[in-house]
A and B are shown apart, each in its own frame.
Chain A
Amino acid sequence: MEKAIVVNNVSKKYKLYNGNKERLLDLITPKSYGEDFYALTNVNFEADKGDIVGFIGINGSGKSTLSNIIAGIIPETTGSVMLRGEVSLIAVSSGLKEALTGRENIELKLLMLGFNKNEIKKLEPEIIEFAELGTFIDQPIKSYSSGMKSRLGFAISVNIDPDILIIDEALSVGDKAFAEKSLEKMREFKKRGKTMIFVSHSLGQMKEFCEKILWLEYGTVKDYGTTEEVIPKYEQFLKEWKKMNNNERKKYRDDKIAENMKQLQK
């Protein structure tokens, strides 16, 4: 089977500074200031062409960081990401220009994605129809509701026909009817053998849709396997997690992070 995504030993380090002084010193002096924070540590994961992978994990586990790295929006600190084909990321806050109208935003976005005039002309009506914005399409984006914005963002990303699609919590915004329509589009993509990544907290959607699940915990891969295998384990974990009080949770977290750091030093 052809690999569509190969993530090899990826780590992402952020620096946490106490104020601007440290930030500046770190920038201009060779000595290191500030505290290192690893959002991802040695993540390995592969997806075949046509796979539908769900990313799960509690808040702060690195799901969005990993999907942003795969989409090429933020750079990895170490490791490498190999992709076969075009990637498109759909997030709730997909960059739209507030002052421009919906139509202008579509054109601008397509232009930036490297489409030429004719292709844009062809795609535009399809996107407008999918987004169901009616007369609002010629109004500036700032007058849109959040649902309308995400619908437009979703419509653009879906209609440019990417090879790899990453959906970061974007389906939870629209109403039922639009979510159903989006899922329909996803099914169509699935049939056509496109690779997709879902990032969501909704286990129901995951179960229905994903074939594989990647479970992230504090920046490392806790488990990766088929949906039937991983989801029950995760549900079990969530139950325990809910029972823990704040101190226990903190201890659990600190232990895991210490473990990660040890791994990293090896």
Chain B
Amino acid sequence: MKSAWKVIKEQIDHFYLVRRLSVYELKSKNKNNYLGTAWELINPLIQIMIYWFVFGLLLSRDDVTMGGEPVPFIAWLIGGFFLWTFCFQSIILGSKSIYTRLRMLSKMNFPMSVIPSYTIFSQLYVHFATIVVAVILYQIMGFYINIYYLQLIYFLFSAICLLFAISLITSTISTIVRDFHLLLNSVLRMLIYVSGVLWPLSKLEAFPRLLNIMQLNPLYYLIEGYRAAFFGTEWYFITHWELTIYYWIIVLLLLIIGASMHVRFRRHFIDFL
């Protein structure tokens, strides 16, 4: 608990640094490409086209019912997919953030807990761009901006908290045992199929127990929240208040575990290189 508090305070104290460093991060990552940072946007767009082609056209998915109204599959997919990309990238990059930078960062006047958070932040800019793209697409498709969009702010904040807590844990383990990063990669690739990104979990209505278990995935909560906002169906975090409470307990637990691991090992990270 004490370390969690300490790590949070470090984030607040060095927020300016997080913002500046995240810009450099994004720049240096795409320096060698002619299209530069645009790739951060092109990548998820291509991916979404593939999924749409396979699931939407070839396997011709039915419309998904959102709040009583049928929604075309592609529209439904976009709502969750961009958030998924943000989470996926943040977890992957967050996990390797410390051991890839440690050597160059060796001498610095800021706490190491800033490193995973600025990698997440650099992804956040990309995520903002994808949200803009999504909103434009929705206007074309006829799902107009509505008051429920306001909950996007809440869900984005919730996502950042979760991702930060997770990356504190994963970056510590990955630095000590490098294999963990590879394992995480595989697990995440699998997770897209069970987080309600590519198919609605309501298809599992025949198996209520399985459905309940899958709803415990915190990513599912975020993705459904995004969709509720885009399609203007409900105030998701109020109507599903049990999931909200559950979500924040999970975040808090992960943060406490992650912070204590991070604080315990950070002085010795350099010895593991």
A112 within 8 A of B: yes
Pick the contact of A114 from B24, B110, B270, B271 — CB < 8 Å? B110
> A140 within 8 Å of B by Cβ?
yes
Whole-angstrom CA separation of A32 from B98 in the bound complex: 26
State whether B176 touches A27 (Cβ < 8 A): yes
Q: Check A75–B107 contact: CB distance below 8 A.
A: no
SS of B interface (majority) = helix
B270 and A112 within 8 A (CB) = no
Cβ contacts B94-109/A at 8 Å (1 or 0 each):
0000000001111111
Q: Does B203 contact A (CB under 8 A)?
A: no
Among B1-9, B26-34, B48-56, B85-93, the one that faces the other chain is B26-34
Q: Per-position contact with B for A81-93: 1 when CB-CB < 8 Å, else 0?
A: 0000000110000
Taking chain A's interface residues, is the majority helix, strand, or loop, or is none over half, making it mixed?
A: loop
With A74-B270, A75-B270, A104-B27 as known contacts, state yes or no: A111 contacts B177, CB within 8 Å.
Answer: no
Question: Size band of the A side of the interface?
Answer: 20 to 34
Q: Does B264 contact A (CB under 8 A)?
A: no
A72, CB-defined interface residue at 8 Å: yes
Cβ A113 vs Cβ B24 within 8 A: no
Q: Binary interface profile of B, 102-139, with partner A (CB < 8 Å = 1, else 0)?
A: 01111111100000000000000000000000000000
Instruction: List CB contacts (< 8 Å) of B230-273 with chain A.
Output: 267-268, 270-271
Q: Pick the interface stretch among A95-103, A188-196, A219-227.
A: A95-103
Given A104-B24, A112-B109, A112-B110, also A95-B17 (CB < 8 A): no
Tell me if A257 is interfacial: C-beta within 8 Å of chain B: no
Nearest chain B CB to A98 CB, angstrom units: 9
The docked-state distance in angstroms from the alpha carbon of A74 to that of B28 is: 26
Please report which residues of chain A, range 80-138, place their CB below 8 angstroms from some CB of chain B when the two chains form the complex: 88-89, 95-97, 99-100, 104, 107-108, 111-114, 116
10 more A-B residue pairs beyond the given contacts A14-B271, A99-B32, with a C-beta to C-beta distance below 8 A: A73-B106, A75-B267, A75-B271, A95-B107, A112-B17, A112-B110, A114-B17, A114-B109, A116-B16, A140-B31
